[in-house]
Amino acid sequence: MDKSVMICRCEEINIDEIETVLKLGAERFDDIKRITRCGMGPCQAKMCFKPVAQLISDYTGKSLSEIPPARARMPLRMTRMSVMASNQDSGSTVKAVFEDGDPDDK
Amino acid sequence: MSYIRQHPRLPDVNVEEVTIHYDGIPIKTRKGISVAAALMEQDIKKLGESRKLNQSRGLFCAIGRCHSCFVTINGEEHVRSCMVTVEDHMEIYPNLRDPDVRSRCNED
Amino acid sequence: MKTELIVVGGGPAGLMAALEAAEKNVMVTIIEESHQLGGQFRQQTQFLDSLPEGMPRMRGVELANELVKKVTNNDNIQVYTNHAVIGLYEDGRVGLNNGKEILSCQTEKIIVATGADIQAVFFPGWTLPGVMTIGASQIMVNRERIKPGNSTFIVGSSDFALEVALQLEEVGINVLGIIEKDSKFHYRKQALGEQVKEKGIPLFKNTFIEQAQGNGQVERVILNHNGKREEYEVDLICVDGGLNPIVELCQLYDCSFTYNETLGGWIPSYQSNFQTSADGVFVAGNAAGITCQGAVLVTGKLAGLSVAESLGKVSAQEANLIRSHYWSELSKVEQEFNPLVHEARMEHVQNIDQAQIKVYES
């Protein structure tokens, strides 16, 4: 396939960029993510994991069962800072940032 | 217009009209449909541009996962237009640039 | 907020799981990300395939309405739409984001019924507006009631792709063809193939998209048909790269995962009661492996029942009896749909110890 084809549409990373990283020794999705930013955009690897795993498999010869899924962490969805700060439940560091004054004074 | 007034498989529904604004232009549309659908109905498919290469972006998955359909709604930026339904007086703008990260009162 | 069971996902599997558990006196809370319940059934105007015995023949939209009505009228079920699960607190509470504030919900059990999404197909220009998944085009036509374009190619030849091609054509979109890169079409229901031919929609094998072009949106597509290049004017391209189970939440619970090609790739390992390796965490529906609609419904029942059992609302003896009945329903339905899926399911459930990923590193 044309190497200029984009795989990660959020961060705009194409096949060529991913293969460059594979040549450097990347083996897992997270390796590629840390160097290229592939999977770090708003969708958080939802769209690009499978094609990247296929590229890793094609290049390294590993089977797809040897390529672990992209690591998912909290928050699982895009969350606005102001919404985080609204948490009345417990003392919120995020909330303190939005308020006036030094949080250490509280 | 691309509205399917009489659907071959679904019963007709009563439509309540609402008016939204896209890039300042008023659009009459049906209450309950998604913002992305309301714009697509007007042949507006390009909803924004990508950050790095300024390429056109719009609806792709329609279920809130691809994050490609971002628009600004009532001042709130990076809203997935496929996940929000239209409401009267909504002010919608295309996602053409990143918002100013610094708050206005912190401007040096 | 406090509940006995959180069902994540208000689609067919989640609704069935909620109803099953509620019927056994479990207090259930359904968390649904979008503004309405029903999941994929909201846009399925076709008659559902492989429904379990005893269920009347129904269209997806009809069953969705029925299930939503039952759930709404059930006093044991609370529904939160426009709420997304975003994380877990240290004490096990589930964190929800409704766009305005973060809420926490204490629960004893959780069923992950988050369904599946459609994999993109990659070619130069695939990110142009006007290129969308076949699921997206079906949502536009059946849920939003608009035509997302005037003429299109469908990329992929699964049963689902052919079904959507027919539905798009029916509302007046000119489907120029269904293209398949392989030398064999993938659809299994012969009736669909015949209907497509009757409507005059050509099927092209050994064909793929070389490039989609346009100024700001799709205007043209260049196909490679058996090595020959052909250009067409289209304003819509609908792609089907296959279905992927949505299972991110299971990672937060440190579930072990197994790679199962037939069931859609990486899915959490689970036993015959649909409980994952994480205590109290169950899965159901397409999130538990890509399958037919009938099986999606039955796995929901299995998970709901197993949760009721684990909460002591049903004795182990009674639960085993009902569960074996549901399992024979599931096996029958999946065997009929695709024997390979049935085989993959059995293998997955029996080999729970052989998960490739036991605990996440990094």
Residue B40 has pLDDT above 90, yes or no: yes
What residues of chain B lie within 8 A of the CB of A10, using their CB? Answer: 67-68
The residue out of A66, A83, A98 marking a domain boundary is: A66
Could you tell me the CA-to-CA distances from C82 to C34, C132, C332 in Å, in that order? 5, 23, 36
SS3 at position B97: coil
CATH T-level topology, domain B17-95: Ubiquitin-like (UB roll) (3.10.20)
What residues of chain C lie within 8 A of the CB of A64, using their CB? Answer: 259, 261, 265
Residue A24 lies in a domain: yes
CA angle C18, C20, C26 (to 5 degrees): 70
Return all residues near C33 (Cβ < 8 A) that are at least 6 apart.
A77, B64, B83, C9, C82, C83, C84
Neighbours of chain C (3+ CB pairs under 8 A): A, B
- Report the 3 state secondary structure along C33-65: CCCCCCHHHHHCCCECCCCCCCCCCCEHHHHHH
Q: Which CATH number does C120-239 carry?
A: 3.50.50.60
Domain match, A19 and A55 both: yes
Determine the distance in angstroms separating the CA of B17 from the nearest CA of chain A, rounded to an integer.
Answer: 31
Domain match, A61 and A82 both: no
Chain C CA closest to residue B64: C34
CA–CA distance, C201 with C263 (Å, rounded to integer): 30
Beta carbon pairs, B and C, within 8 Å: 94
In B57-86, the residues whose Cβ lies within 8 Å of chain A are 57, 60-61, 65-68, 70, 78
Residue A94 lies in a domain: yes
Domain match, A13 and A50 both: yes
Asked if residue C123 lies in contact with residue C131, where contact means CB atoms within 8 angstroms, the answer is no
Asked if residue C3 lies in contact with residue C106, where contact means CB atoms within 8 angstroms, the answer is yes
pLDDT-derived band at A106 (thresholds 50, 70, 90) equals: very low
A16 part of contact set with chain B, CB < 8 Å: no
Chain C CA closest to residue B81: C34
Mean pLDDT of chain C: 96
What residues of chain A lie within 8 A of the CB of C123, using their CB? Answer: 1-2, 5
**A77 DSSP 8-state letter:** S
Q: Give pLDDT tens digits for C43-91.
A: 999 999 889 888 899 999 999 999 999 999 999 999 999 999 999 999 9
Q: Which of B52, B61, B78 is nearest residue A12 as measured by Cβ atoms?
A: B52
Q: Do C120-239 and C5-117+243-354 fall under one CATH topology?
A: yes
Question: What's the pLDDT at C231?
Answer: 98
C5-117+243-354: CATH class: alpha beta
pLDDT-derived band at A88 (thresholds 50, 70, 90) equals: low
Residue A105 has pLDDT above 60, yes or no: no
Chain A CA closest to residue B61: A47
Half-sphere exposure of C70 (CA within 13 A, CB side): 19
Residue with tokens 């969350």: A79
Contact at CB, C104 and A89, closer than 8 angstroms: yes
Determine the distance in angstroms separating the CA of C23 from the nearest CA of chain B, rounded to an integer.
Answer: 30
Determine the distance in angstroms separating the CA of C161 from the nearest CA of chain B, rounded to an integer.
Answer: 15
Task: Give the percent of chain C with pLDDT over 70.
Answer: 99
CA–CA distance, C329 with B94 (Å, rounded to integer): 49
Residue A1 lies in a domain: no
Domain of residue A40: give its range: 6-66
Residue C308 has pLDDT above 60, yes or no: yes
Asked if residue C134 lies in contact with residue C240, where contact means CB atoms within 8 angstroms, the answer is yes
Residue A102 has pLDDT above 60, yes or no: no
Phi-psi region of C15 (alpha: psi -120 to 50; beta: other; left: phi over 0): alpha
Chain A CA closest to residue B52: A12
| Domain map (residue ranges) of chain C | 5-117+243-354, 120-239
Chain A CA closest to residue C251: A72
End-to-end CA distance of chain C: 32
- When comparing pLDDT for C353 and B61, which is higher? B61
Domain match, A61 and A80 both: no
Task: Please give the tally of structural domains in chain A.
Answer: 2
pLDDT-derived band at B100 (thresholds 50, 70, 90) equals: low
Domain match, A14 and A56 both: yes
Question: What's the pLDDT at B101?
Answer: 58
